[in-house]
Structure 1
């Protein structure tokens, strides 16, 4: 990650974030199909560890939820 102040998330923080995302989607009555869920479960932790751009992970996740290309 290029931000010198970035602190990678712990596994516990990542697990909490994934659980919160599940709760938000469920509250909205939306559930991801297994392939999209697997992709999201890989991208979110990668972004939280600084291995992937957070903006890219969010854009990809929103594209999966809305069915629209992030471009």
Structure 2
């Protein structure tokens, strides 16, 4: 009696309604699960490129470049 009670309780916990339980029984086991909803698209700010490109080393040398030039001289 105890085992049947426990199995009944676990079935009730897994399938709160008999209709869901019958749907699970009638559904073939090899059917794929329902497709999950697609994730929301990223905000447009992520898709846009940065407003201003980084300065190139030729137009504005970094301190490392200037120090290396001095060392070469």
- TM-score norm. by structure 1 comes to 0.24
- Name the structure with the higher helix share: 1
- TM-score norm. by structure 2 comes to 0.23
Q: Which has the higher contact order (CA 8 A, sep 6+)?
A: 1
Larger Rg: 2
